[in-house]
Amino acid sequence: TPKQYDVLFRLLLLGDSGVGKTCMLRRFTEGEFDPSHISTIGVDFKMKTLEIDGVRVRVQIWDTAGQERYQTITKQYYRRAQGIILVYDITNQQSFLHISKWASDVDECAPDKVQRMLIGNKCDEEPRRQVAKEQASKLAQNYKMDFFETSASSNVNISESFTRLTELVLQAYTKEADNLLSSLDEYLDKAALGGSKDNIAHRGCAC
């Protein structure tokens, strides 16, 4: 059977326990919201195929446990990720303060070129807000990350944010492929030049 997609990327969700990572992923891949909180154990993943600029991109999205005790396991998944979403809960100041810790774990364990994004989830809970949007937006700018406020329960910006990260990963990937191709071109040009000189010398010999 022909392949149903052109390229596969791995994305990773990180953030404190209870910020809503599993709910965001379910909303995005299944279009559903289940308000119960069953803490993720270790890691879990779901898949979805998106079409971006005519490219069929299959994303494998890894949902990690926010609880401290799983971090030795979850850190093993960072280095295979092309995109990482750092999630906090807008009603929980602590989860926002911890973003710097999650970001430094990413710096330590993920590939340098990984694309990162900041998300403040539960934006439907405006009356319980503890983190100002401007404050988070500033942090995202410092980290050179895109930023969204989302709601898994009200379905706000969920598809937009996952799609945006996938676009960023695809752009980085295309740029890298272009660079590789032009290096290869350069190499082949040099080889062809060298090759033709040899040929001339060779022909000279044969005559």
Ligand X SMILES: Nc1nc2c(ncn2[C@@H]2O[C@H](COP(=O)(O)OP(=O)(O)OP(=O)(O)O)[C@@H](O)[C@H]2O)c(=O)[nH]1
Strand pairing category for 55-64 and 146-149: unpaired
Neighbours of 26 (CB within 10 A): 18
> Across the strands, what pairs with 88?
120
- 99 interacts with ligand X by CB under 6 A: no
Closest approach, Cβ 27 to ligand X, in A, equals 8
Cα–chain center distance at 173? 12
The span of 106-114, 121-129, 163-171, 189-197 binding ligand X (CB under 6 A) equals 121-129
- 39 interacts with ligand X by CB under 6 A: yes
Strand pairing category for 43-52 and 146-149: unpaired
DSSP 16-30: -TTSSHHHHHHHHHH
- 42 interacts with ligand X by CB under 6 A: no
Name the residue nearer to ligand X (CB basis): 133 or 190: 133
Name the residue nearer to ligand X (CB basis): 121 or 166: 121
Helix pair angle (21-30, 158-206), 10° resolution = 70
The span of 11-19, 71-79, 165-173, 184-192 binding ligand X (CB under 6 A) equals 11-19
Closest approach, Cβ 168 to ligand X, in A, equals 22
> Across the strands, what pairs with 9?
59
The span of 62-70, 104-112, 162-170, 184-192 binding ligand X (CB under 6 A) equals 62-70
Helices and strands: H and E segment counts in the chain: 6, 6
Structure tokens at 69: 């005790």
Closest approach, Cβ 167 to ligand X, in A, equals 23
Nearest to 10 by CA among 103, 89, 114: 114
Nearest to 166 by CA among 48, 78, 59: 59
- 120 interacts with ligand X by CB under 6 A: no
Closest approach, Cβ 6 to ligand X, in A, equals 30
- 151 interacts with ligand X by CB under 6 A: yes
Residue span 152-191 as binding mask against ligand X, x where in contact by CB under 6 A, dash where not: xx--------------------------------------
- 57 interacts with ligand X by CB under 6 A: no
> Across the strands, what pairs with 57?
7, 50
Give the residues lining the site for ligand X (CB under 6 A).
Answer: 17-23, 35, 37, 39-40, 65-67, 121-122, 124-125, 151-153
